[in-house]
A and B are shown apart, each in its own frame.
Chain A
Amino acid sequence: MEAGALGNPVLRARRSLTDRIGDPLLRGLSGLAAALAVAAMVGIVYEVIQIASPAISAFGIGFVTTNDWNPVTENFGAAPFLYGTAVTSAIALLLAAPLSIAISIYLTELAPARLRRPVATLVDMLAAIPTVILGLWGILVLGPVMHDTIEPALQSAFGFLPIFSGDPSAFGYLTAALILTIMITPIITSVTREVFETVPSDLKEGAYALGATRWEMVREVVLPYSRAGIVGASILGLGRAIGEAIAVAQVIGGATAINVSLFHTGGTMAAQIASQFQGAPGALQKPSLAYLGLILLVFAVVVNVIARLIVQRGKLKDSDTTLTEAEAL
Chain B
Amino acid sequence: MKAPSGHALLLDRGNLKRRKRVNRVIEVTSTIAALLAVAVLLIVVGSVLLKGLGALSLHFLTTPTGLFGDTSGGISNAIVGSAIMVGLAAVMAIPVGLLVAIYTTEFASPRFGHAVRFVLDILNGVPTIITGIFVFGLMVEGNKQSGFAASVALAIIMLPIVARTAQEVLTLVPANLKEAAHALGIAHWRSTVRITIPTAAGGLLTGALLAVARVAGETAPLILLSSIYGQGVLTEPGEALASIPIFIFQSSESPSPDAHTQAWAAALVLIAFVLVLNVVARAFYARSRKRMGA
Residues of A within 8 A of B (CB): 2, 6, 15-16, 19, 22-23, 25-27, 29-34, 36-38, 40-41, 43-44, 47-48, 50-51, 99, 102-103, 105-107, 109-111, 119, 121-126, 128-137, 139-141, 182, 185-186, 189, 204-205, 208-218, 236, 239, 242-246, 250, 270, 273-274, 277-278, 290, 293, 296-297, 300-301, 303-305, 308, 320-321, 323-325, 327-329
Contacts known (A19-B190, A103-B37, A324-B164); A139 close to B252, Cβ less than 8 A: yes
Pull 12 A–B residue pairs with CB atoms less than 8 Å apart, ordered by A.
A47-B133, A50-B137, A125-B275, A128-B213, A130-B218, A133-B48, A136-B263, A204-B1, A243-B127, A250-B249, A293-B133, A304-B124
Contacts known (A30-B106, A246-B219); A136 close to B127, Cβ less than 8 A: no
1/0 contact string of B23-49 vs chain A (CB within 8 Å):
100110111111011101101110110
**Cβ-neighbour of A48 out of B130, B188, B271 (below 8 A):** B130
The reply to whether A211 and B217 form a contact with Cβ atoms under 8 Å apart is: no
Contacts known (A130-B218, A130-B271); A119 close to B129, Cβ less than 8 A: no
8 A Cβ contacts from B103-139 to A: 103-104, 106-108, 116-134, 136-138
B248's nearest neighbour on chain A, judged by CB, is A132
The reply to whether A33 and B126 form a contact with Cβ atoms under 8 Å apart is: no
Contacts known (A19-B189, A208-B3, A246-B220); A128 close to B275, Cβ less than 8 A: yes
The reply to whether A301 and B44 form a contact with Cβ atoms under 8 Å apart is: no
- Quote the shortest CB–CB distance from B293 to chain A (angstroms): 16
| B239 at the binding interface (Cβ < 8 Å) | no
By secondary structure, the B interface counts as helix
A185's nearest neighbour on chain B, judged by CB, is B37
The reply to whether B100 and A34 form a contact with Cβ atoms under 8 Å apart is: yes
The reply to whether A325 and B165 form a contact with Cβ atoms under 8 Å apart is: yes
Contacts known (A270-B129, A325-B165); A133 close to B270, Cβ less than 8 A: yes
In the complex, which residues of chain A have a beta carbon less than 8 angstroms from the beta carbon of B20? 213
**Cβ-neighbour of A277 out of B107, B133, B192 (below 8 A):** B133
- Quote the shortest CB–CB distance from A162 to chain B (angstroms): 28
The reply to whether B129 and A245 form a contact with Cβ atoms under 8 Å apart is: yes
In the complex, which residues of chain A have a beta carbon less than 8 angstroms from the beta carbon of B108? 31, 34
The reply to whether A33 and B99 form a contact with Cβ atoms under 8 Å apart is: yes
A271's nearest neighbour on chain B, judged by CB, is B129
Contacts known (A123-B41, A304-B121); A30 close to B107, Cβ less than 8 A: yes
- Which of B19, B97, B99 counts the most A-chain CB atoms under 10 A from its CB? B99
A201's nearest neighbour on chain B, judged by CB, is B1
The interface stretch among B54-62, B71-79, B153-161, B229-237 is: B153-161
Known: A135-B249, A140-B260, A208-B4. 16 other contacts (CB 8 A): A29-B99, A36-B96, A38-B119, A44-B130, A105-B30, A110-B31, A123-B38, A130-B218, A130-B219, A132-B249, A136-B252, A208-B1, A211-B5, A300-B126, A303-B125, A324-B165
The reply to whether A123 and B37 form a contact with Cβ atoms under 8 Å apart is: yes
Contacts known (A106-B34, A300-B130); A6 close to B184, Cβ less than 8 A: yes
In the complex, which residues of chain B have a beta carbon less than 8 angstroms from the beta carbon of A185? 37
Contacts known (A29-B99, A105-B26); A141 close to B47, Cβ less than 8 A: yes
B246's nearest neighbour on chain A, judged by CB, is A132
Contacts known (A30-B103, A215-B22); A37 close to B40, Cβ less than 8 A: no
The reply to whether A214 and B190 form a contact with Cβ atoms under 8 Å apart is: no
